[in-house]
Amino acid sequence: MLPILIICLLASLILTPFIRQLALYFDVTDKPDKRRVNVKPIPSLGGLAIYISFSIGLFLLPIDKVILWPIFISGTVMMLTGFIDDLFEIKARYKLLGQVVAAFIIVFWGGITIEFVNLPFGGELHFGVFSIPLTILWIVAITNAVNLIDGLDGLAAGVSTIALITILGMAFIMSDPVVIMLSALLIAATLGFLPFNFNPAKIFMGDTGALFLGFSISVLSVMGFKNVTFISLIVPILILGVPISDTIIAIIRRMVTKQPLAMADKSHIHHQLMGLGFTHRQTVILIYAISALFSLFSFIFTMSTVWGSVLLMAILLLLVEVLIESLGLIGQNYRPIMKLLRIESDSSDEEKTE
């Protein structure tokens, strides 16, 4: 396995500069605008290096290729969807169509679905006919969540790597060799790209890479955590805590401000952190740290009792809420917890004065 990982890593390191030159030659670049943070055109399509490197490693794996074909074909459809968008900036509905097609392939050909979960106090919850739409919804949601955080140099690649390392660790605990190998390949391919993508970025992954990585992570999380306990179903959500939280907050924010859900803005967590005075690199590293914290919580979750898990989730949700209010992610006036604490603090001060 190690030689295959080295080949995958080297392929990514070699391909990324080559693809950068191609993107510059054909002027496939992200040009500065009001919703981007780059101040000069940056070549895109870096996700091709991740995709090609992963594909090379995929077919070098010493496992039955029948298992791999659905993963490869569906991943290719997702990559092509992002590639076409990077070239022509297609409408959101066409991107969604490509994502749904890829999800259908992995569900109906690959047979990868969330079928049931074991409830914490006994019994099972079977999803029946809803297992297919639930799985497709999960895949599309996670794919877009990763795509949404691709707003700073190295952000999506780094957060995805942290998520993949966590999925690999969970797969190791569960003795799932296929998920271990696929996760390791993606980590190697992404790490080979990251040195060229970290601030100051020489190349962006574009939707080519963001959609492919998001899709791959969503599929691996289903493969690694399907048919598990109800509490353990929270684990993949925790692993992807940053992109999922940012996506949910963005939806709420746009509903509150009555903006179209598909409309891009500059109120994501990375924009708000930079607005507080953090540098580009500091913001990325801080979000890496938050992602790592979510991943740590996911490991603790798997080892906790049911009530311990409930308490842990309550603490985590409170911390997320405080972060949302502190950064003004939904709106500057949305601060219920902070206002409540301020009222209680003012009341205690008045009592002391009396």
Number of helical H runs and strand E runs in the chain:
14, 4
CA 145 to chain centre: 5
Give yes or no for a cis peptide into 3 (omega within 30° of 0). no
Residues contributing to the annotated binding site: 147, 207
Q: Where is the binding site for Mg(2+), in residues?
A: 147, 207
Domain definitions of the chain by residue range: 2-349
72: Cβ contacts below 8 Å, ≥ 6 apart = 55, 58, 59
Section 248-273 average pLDDT: 70
User: How confident is the model at residue 8, as a pLDDT?
Assistant: 97
**C-alpha distances in angstroms, 15 versus 1, 49, 72, 87?**
21, 5, 19, 19
Separation in Å, CA 255 to CA 178, 242, 245, 248, 250? 40, 20, 15, 11, 9
Rg of the chain over all Cα atoms, to the nearest angstrom = 21
**Cβ contact 165:187 at 8 Å:** yes
Instruction: Write the CA distances from 204 to 19, 58, 195, 258, integer angstroms.
Output: 11, 23, 11, 31
d(CA 245, CA 146): 11
pLDDT at 140: 94
Position with higher pLDDT, 116 vs 19:
19
| Interval 293-303 mean pLDDT | 78
Give the mean model confidence (pLDDT) for residues 202-228.
Answer: 86
Cα–Cα–Cα angle for 260, 265, 271, nearest 5°?
150
Q: Between 352 and 251, where is the model more confident?
A: 251
* Whether the Cβ atoms of residue 62 and residue 27 lie closer than 8 Å to each other: no
Stretch 88-104: mean pLDDT, rounded? Answer: 94
pLDDT of 263 above 70: no
Q: Rounded mean pLDDT of 101-115? A: 92
What's the pLDDT tens digit per position in 176-194?
899 999 999 999 999 999 9
Lookup: tokens for 281: 């690199």
- Match 């809803």 to its residue by tokens: 130
pLDDT band at 211 (very low <50, low <70, confident <90, very high): very high
Region of 33 please: left (phi>0), alpha (psi -120 to 50) or beta.
beta
CB 270 within 8 Å of CB 287: yes
Give the model confidence (pLDDT) of 113-156 as tens digits. 888 766 655 566 778 888 899 999 989 988 988 887 887 889 88
Least confident window among 25-34, 94-103, 212-221, 267-276:
267-276
Mind listing the pLDDT tens digit for each residue in 49-90?
999 999 999 999 988 888 899 999 999 999 999 999 999 989
pLDDT tens digits along 234-246: 666 777 777 777 7
Please tell me the pTM assigned to this model: 0.84
> What phi and psi values does residue 309 have, to the nearest 5 degrees?
-65, -40
